[in-house]
Every structure is written in structure tokens, then in C-alpha cells.
Amino acid sequence: MKRRYTIFLVFISAWVLGVSLETGLRGQAPATSPQENTAPAQFAYSGSAAQAPATFISNHLFLPVRINLSKPSLFELDSTATATSVDPSRLTDLAIPIDASNTNIQNCVLNLPGVELPMSNLAIVAKNDFGAQMGMPYQGTLGADFFARLVVVVDYSRQTIQLYDPATYTYSGAAKGVQGTFAGATPILHAKVSIPGQKTLEADFIVDTALDFPIVFSRTFTDEHRISSAHFKTISASYPSVDAGAKILLGRLKTIQLGGYTIEDPIAAFSQSNPPSGQSKNIAGTIGAGFLKRFLVIFDSPHQRIILEPNLQFNKFAEEDMSGLSIVAKGPGLRTFEIVRVQPGTPGASAGIHEGDVIAGIDEEPAADITLTSIRDLFRQVGHKYKLLIERNGKTQEVVIQMKRLI
């Protein structure tokens, strides 16, 4: 039998944050108010639960969604999005009334496997950077008005998502409290963090299922607490999905503690960008899917609680990029993999790779058969050596790059 972990849960209070958290750390502006969409979810066969055939791409979660029984789209599960939305490209074949501003679909139904969600207004929003960052076209987002009407259980280990009717849902674990809560529509986790050269700090973090990174500290928090890279080892890095690719510092915390659970040596990013105007000092940063994948996560917004259960990845040593290359996807089919930044002193720099280079193949496999996600996964494998076919100024050349742990 698989070992069951005891579920430890701790209550934390919600408070007024002094600024709307609906914009999140990724600066997304609200498209429509989630309060407009309040009709309860309807489960098939008068039931109260459904298991959705989720697609996990890296640590991002996608659910198949149809609008008024149209062709399916993949909507990303985003716990920080202020509202559910659809990309304009998905509306081409839909005979659905759109409001005069062309920003909302009115009075439609989202059809998911086993459950339907009535929508008074469905926002129409394009995410222009999504394809470059993810290597796949953007189609839609399930946001706060989705979480507000369901209990959403994300099992990262088994890669499944269950949806429950909050009116009948009962948590059957060894409950001793709640590990997280919601400030308005924003999920919050309370944690104790131990940073080398610093005292242990207690802090609150926004929970972002659409951030494929473990932990990001805001500049406001690090400045206020005088957290300096002079006190512990950090490296410069750049990720297209973190601070829009701006320079960040990566380091390892000693520990992060959530209730009774302690994770050692987690990787954290320290933002070097100025925070959004008016960002609350009560929030230390964001906990993303790169950290959440250690748990089964229960988002129970209707009851204002978040519950975490450790899975088999709980104690796994965290690894991040070992190439020093920041890569985006461009061109037809998003199969042109361009290097947008090379960090000095990394395997990428040692291999002679330049900004603007394009990866045309890896180990005899052409770029047409590779995805951006698979490249990033390869570049997290310590000690592995790869032959890269590089295109530069219309010419191709082969370079060899060997991964090494950078942090």
C-alpha cells in the first residue's frame, strides 16, 4: 500500500490587503468581474462530482472546454486570473452573440466533461506573449469565477483534476485546520521561510497555478527585509514567464515551512524589477506550480480554504535550468526556438551560443519534432550532454553543450 501522509492544516486569517490583488504579480488587468458569473455549476446526471481529462504541459494545467457545445478548446487553469476568458481566435466558428464592445460573450455555457458552467459574461482576451513563452497557442483561461463555483482538486502526481459541487463537498482527510485562504478571489498561503544569512521570516504568498516556477519573491518584500544576495549564493537568470524575461536572481532557501510540512533547499527567484504601483507589502511573492507539484492541492474558494496533501514528489530535490539559455518559440507552429538571453559563465555561454541564435535540432532530432517544453525538460538534466544544431545569420553549425547544476 502506498504510504499515506498525515494531512496537517493550519488556519490563517484573511485581511484587507490595501490594494486589489486581482491584478496578481503578473500584472493582469481584470477583464470582467467574476461576481457577474454566479450561477451554480450543473453536474451531469444530477451528480455532484466530475473528473476532467486534464492536460499537463510541464506544470501548467489545461482543461477541455466547449462554449455552447462548440469545438473544444484547451483552457489554462489560472488561480490568479480575475475572470474566465477566451481567445478571439476561438470564436471564428461560433454563432454566439457578442456585446457591442466586442469584449464579452453574453449568456453562454461552458461545457466541461461532466459539468456545465453558465456564464452571464465570458471575457474575450488575447494573450500575445503566451505562445512565445509556452510554445503552444493560447486558447482560454479558467479564472476566479470558475474557482468560485467549484471545489477544484489538482493531483499533480497523478495528473488529474476533480471538480466537486461545493454544496455537498466534504473533506474527508485528517483535517486539523486550513493551510491557505482566499483574500477576495486570490488564493493565499502562509509560510515560514528560512533564507541563508537571514532570520526566519513569516510571509504570505499568492498561489499561482499558471506560473511554472517554484517561488518568486517580490522586490518590495526583499527591500523591506533587506534580503541581499551578498549573504548567500545566487545566480543571474532570465525566464520569459517571470518578470517578462527581465533579469532575476536565483537562490536556494534553507527551508520553507507550510504548516507542519518543511521542504529543504527549494529554489526561489528574487525579482529585480520595481513592483506594480501600490502592491501590498503584506504579500512576499508568489508560489507557483513548480512548488505546488509536490502536493495534491484542494482549492475550495466557496469555503475560503486551501488544503495541501504531500505526494511522492514532496522531498524531491528541485532542479532548474542548467543551460543558462532563455528560449522562446516563434514562427509557424511555434517551432522556431530563439535564444533571447545567454547568461555569462553558463554552459550555454561556454558552448559559444549567442543571443539571436535559433535551435534547429537537438541530437539529430529536428526542431519540427521538438517542443519548447521538451527542450526545457532536457536542459534540467544534470550532467547530460547534447549536440545542438544552431542557425546563425543564415548558416548552421553544431555545438556541444553539457548541463551542470548552476544553483
More reliable by pLDDT, 319 or 21: 319
pLDDT average, residue stretch 51-70 = 92
94 pLDDT above the threshold of 80:
no
Q: Which three cell numbers stand for residue 395?
A: 548558416
Say how far apart CA 44 and CA 132 lie, in whole Å.
37
393 pLDDT above the threshold of 90:
yes
63 band by pLDDT with thresholds 50, 70 and 90: very high
Can you give the pLDDT at residue 12? Answer: 33
227 band by pLDDT with thresholds 50, 70 and 90: confident
Say how far apart CA 135 and CA 164 lie, in whole Å.
31
Q: What is the mean pLDDT of the chain?
A: 86
257 band by pLDDT with thresholds 50, 70 and 90: very high
Can you give the pLDDT at residue 278? Answer: 60
Of the ranges 263-277, 358-372, 393-407, which one carries the lowest mean pLDDT score? Answer: 263-277
What are the counts of helices (DSSP H) followed by strands (DSSP E) for the chain?
6, 29
CB atoms near residue 158 (< 10 Å): 12
Q: Which tens digits make up the pLDDT trace of 104-115?
A: 888 899 999 999
13 pLDDT above the threshold of 50:
no
125 pLDDT above the threshold of 90:
yes
pLDDT average, residue stretch 6-33 = 38
Say how far apart CA 357 and CA 402 lie, in whole Å.
18
Can you give the pLDDT at residue 343? Answer: 95
Can you give the pLDDT at residue 91? Answer: 83
CB 357 within 8 A of CB 339: yes
Can you give the pLDDT at residue 90? Answer: 87
Q: Which three cell numbers stand for residue 310?
A: 504531500
Q: Which tens digits make up the pLDDT trace of 136-195?
A: 999 999 999 999 999 999 999 999 999 999 999 999 876 445 579 999 899 999 999 999
Nearest alpha carbon to residue 88 among 145, 31, 127, 135: 127
Of the ranges 29-38, 53-62, 255-264, which one carries the lowest mean pLDDT score? Answer: 29-38
Helix (H, G, I), strand (E, B) or coil at 92: coil
Q: Which three cell numbers stand for residue 330?
A: 516563434
Of the ranges 11-20, 79-88, 166-175, 374-383, which one carries the lowest mean pLDDT score? Answer: 11-20
208 band by pLDDT with thresholds 50, 70 and 90: very high
Which DSSP state fits 341? E
24 band by pLDDT with thresholds 50, 70 and 90: very low
pLDDT average, residue stretch 385-400 = 96
Can you give the pLDDT at residue 260? Answer: 82
269 pLDDT above the threshold of 80:
yes
For 122, 201, 265, 292, the CA distances from 254, given in Å and listed in that order, are 43, 12, 5, 18
Phi-psi region of 181 (alpha: psi -120 to 50; beta: other; left: phi over 0): beta
Of the ranges 99-103, 351-355, 357-361, which one carries the lowest mean pLDDT score? Answer: 99-103
Instruction: Give the domains, in start order, of the chain with CATH numbers.
Output: 180-290 (2.40.70.10), 325-402 (2.30.42.10)
Q: Which tens digits make up the pLDDT trace of 372-389?
A: 999 999 999 999 999 999
Q: Sign of torsion, CA 134 140 143 146?
A: negative
322 band by pLDDT with thresholds 50, 70 and 90: very high
Q: Which tens digits make up the pLDDT trace of 30-58?
A: 444 545 788 999 999 989 999 988 999 98
Q: Which three cell numbers stand for residue 255?
A: 527551508
244 band by pLDDT with thresholds 50, 70 and 90: confident
SS3 of 269-330: EEECCCCCCCCCCCEEEEEEHHHHCCEEEEEEHHHCEEEEEECCCCCCCCCCCCCCEEEEEE
Q: Which three cell numbers stand for residue 299?
A: 482549492
More reliable by pLDDT, 94 or 49: 49
242 pLDDT above the threshold of 90:
no
Can you give the pLDDT at residue 93? Answer: 63
